[in-house]
Structure 1
Amino acid sequence: MTAHPRGNRRSSLHTFSRRLLIIRALLREPLDREQLIAVIRRELGDEAYPEQATIALKHDLDALKREYDCVIRHQRETGRYELRDLGKLALLDLPDACLEALAFIDSSFPEGAAVPATIAIRALLQRIEQLLPDERRAALRTPSPVQLQLGAGGDPARIDQATLRALRRAITGRRQLRFAYFSSHDTDTPRTHTVEPYRIFFSDVGHGYLDCTHVGATPSRGELPGQWINYRLDRIVPKSATVLGQMLPPTRRQPPSYTVSYTLSARVARHRNVAHLFPHSQFVWHDDGSASVTATVTDLWQARLTLMRYAGACAVTGPPQLVTMMREAVAEMMAVYGLAGAPAPE
């Protein structure tokens, strides 16, 4: 007896849906027979495969290879199936602007870049490339003339992965964090810091930092509760980070703020294309080409590091605490280079 055409269409659609689901599952990760069958039945119901599920799965895999040129390899050592190439199912045809954006990311995060997320970023790019038709993959492989210059200051191998996982749990769970930390002033013994963590970021020289609101430190070195502090990830003692039960406040506490003022010489300011290094930067341009700048900062130590980049082209005039910090830094450099009248560094 001839089957009703509508039944044939329904059966064909069901088979096609099942095979697409196999591809979707293998795009995520290699799976063995039992895992693939379980995925299909979970998504489409137990009736998706008959009792001879293993034979039906083999028919589906063979059809994907034969009809769509999919390259699916069976890993004998693990028993898993690995999707190597989508063949005719590589249907993600992106606009040129999107491919340029992907090429930019590819050039900015090369293999071995000093950012822990590089491995995940590379895996994402490889997965997107796998979804592209052959003629579009070539465009993605063309190096971008524009890229981020993150620098090589960080070594991802020095960032403890267990610590990184604890930091992420604390940030996503909005909980306080406690860890042992070696600051530049701690020579032999780390100090214990309790913080409210908010984000992880990487500087332009490649170092990774944890952006926190300070709660307390034992022993204290003058850190103020509520102060915003950036902790170097590679200076957190491995496996010392503990997520605490105390929840973070609904909104981040605002730290003490300072109005910074400094003068830039004509050497760097005459073309009036000076970087806005701090929030709320305001410029007054002078006839001799110099510029007076005021801005708001919450971290005087970081402000000192930033302004030291200008060397002798910058004169800090306020606040008094920052002026003192700059003078101390200059005095230390004079002593290091043996300039007359310089005090010996501590």
Structure 2
Amino acid sequence: MKKLFKIAPVALVSAFTIFVMGCNDNTAADALVIERQGVFASGGSVTEPIPGEFNVTENWMDFSRAGNTAHVDHANTFFQIPAGKNRSPIVYLHGYGQTRTGWQATPDGREGWSDIFLKKGRAAFLVDQPRRGAAGNTVNVVANPQDTRNGGKEYNPGDQAWYTHFRIGRGTPNRYEGSQFPAGDEALNQFLRQMTPSTGEYDEALFGKSMSAVLADTRKMTGKKPVYMTHSQGGRVGWATDTENMAAVIAIEPGFAPEVGSETYKKFVAAKVPMIFYFGDYIDNGPEDIKSTGFWKMVLAQVRDFAEHYNKDGGDATVIYLPEIGIKGNSHFMFQELNNKEIAEHIEKWLESKGL
């Protein structure tokens, strides 16, 4: 594994980290000590040199870049390993238009899931998938039509569109009745500033290959197969990832589950990977005039069908529709909402029941 930065042992108190992130719900009694942290790259490729001889004298001023190569299409992972307990680590993969930031804190400054699970002894491996965030280097810089307009020259506005699709409310700043999404202009401002475009085309197979390398690197560093936690579009990449180094899957409202009987489905059945799916509120009871309600109903039904077949075929899959267990008001971003600790506790109990 080639690391982009040296990884040195450190001892950090999370009260400091949380202050930097804007969090305010920590006390010295529940301080988090980080034994080790750092950043590394996994997967990717190196381009063939541009034809011609490298001009060492001109170097960066030679805009032909003759003789130059580029390291591209890797995943970038920031990790923290807590002192003390050594439970199964978690690899976190974001969804569309997002980076690892979403797992690290909440829009209103409380602890994010990465800190919450760190305190439970679970090392955090927070990924930016290829062509996103800190892993933006790619050969063909091609804007996704969802990200740009006017021939790729302008960023495509989407605050209200994505906010509504994420089932927070009927366009900003509205929230559904009983919503767990943090209230206030500043929380909304922080949330919407998480969105970021991709630098290249969406390539599920390529992303899955790089994520397979992340899981392998995580296992080498910790001595344990990691739990793979995905969100939204990251769930699609999750199914394209090799199962060899995967202890379990926690899929937070994935775009879909593998098609029953497909090669991907068979791959997970053969590996006997336990998995649990979480869905928030406003799906069965969502506004009928909003098209996204139908989309999320379709996804939930498809995932339930997958789980039924997966279990019949010897797998282990659980689908949690939060309102059915009395947890209400959550959107697509349940890990950033007011009750994120309650949902994290539910996940932790499931992990413990699987011996992880």
* Structure (1 or 2) with the larger CA radius of gyration: 1
Determine which structure has greater relative contact order: mean sequence separation of CA pairs < 8 Å that are 6+ residues apart, divided by chain length. 2
Higher helix share goes to which structure?
Answer: 1
TM-score (normalizing by structure 2)? 0.26
TM-score (normalizing by structure 1)? 0.26
